[in-house]
């Protein structure tokens, strides 16, 4: 999503906060804001924090401290949804549909894809190579 490439961490976080504010206040939204708000709706555990910008804008979420980064998690949901909309890598949509049929829950199936994507991105970062779409899709299809 090129939109996110041009934003600082604070600007990116502010876009989540603003999208959630607009959803709560039933204000007009841009398409990307609607996508963000849809993901936030699926995560009630993050909603209160997004209503208190001072609690999240400057906060560092460290895995060492046992903290999950809600912005990373929601961003991965958005990435998965973009992959599904474009069927990239080819076959991801079909693999996802199979997971949804097996699990009976699209949100849970997205979480399965997020785990696979996160592992693929971690490997890419560690190796210094681009993410391996074939390895990613293989991970996803093993989830069936």
pLDDT-derived band of residue 59, with 50, 70 and 90 as boundaries? confident
pTM of the model: 0.89
The residue among 61 and 41 whose pLDDT is bigger is: 41
Q: In percent, how much of the chain has pLDDT > 90? A: 77
**What is the DSSP annotation of 33-76?**
HHHHHHHHHT-HHHHHHHT-HHHHSS----GGGT---HHHHHHH
pLDDT at 2 over 50: no
Under 8 Å between Cβ of 120 and 140: no
Instruction: Determine the Cα–Cα distance for residues 9 and 11; give it in Å rounded to an integer.
Output: 6
Report which DSSP code applies to 117.
H
Task: Tell me: pLDDT of 3 over 70.
Answer: no
- Sign of the Cα pseudo-torsion (16, 21, 26, 27, in order): negative
Percent of residues, the chain, with pLDDT higher than 70: 95
User: For 100-135, how does the pLDDT look when each residue is reduced to its tens digit (9 = 90+)?
Assistant: 999 999 999 999 999 999 999 999 999 999 999 999
Instruction: Give the Cα separation of 95 and 139 in Å (integer).
Output: 10
């Amino acid at each position: 999503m090129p939109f996110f490439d041009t934003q600082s961490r604070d600007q990116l976080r502010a876009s989540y906060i603003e999208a959630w504010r607009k959803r709560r206040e039933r204000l007009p939204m841009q398409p990307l804001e609607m996508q963000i708000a849809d993901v936030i709706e699926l995560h009630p555990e993050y909603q209160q924090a997004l209503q208190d910008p001072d609690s999240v804008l400057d906060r560092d979420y460290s895995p060492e401290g046992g903290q999950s980064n809600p912005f990373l998690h929601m961003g991965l949901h958005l990435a998965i949804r973009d992959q599904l909309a474009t069927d990239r890598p080819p076959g991801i949509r079909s693999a996802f549909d199979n997971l949804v049929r097996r699990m009976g829950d699209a949100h849970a199936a997205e979480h399965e894809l997020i785990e696979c994507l996160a592992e693929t991105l971690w490997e890419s970062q560690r190796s210094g190579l681009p993410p391996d779409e074939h390895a990613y899709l293989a991970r996803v299809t093993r989830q069936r």
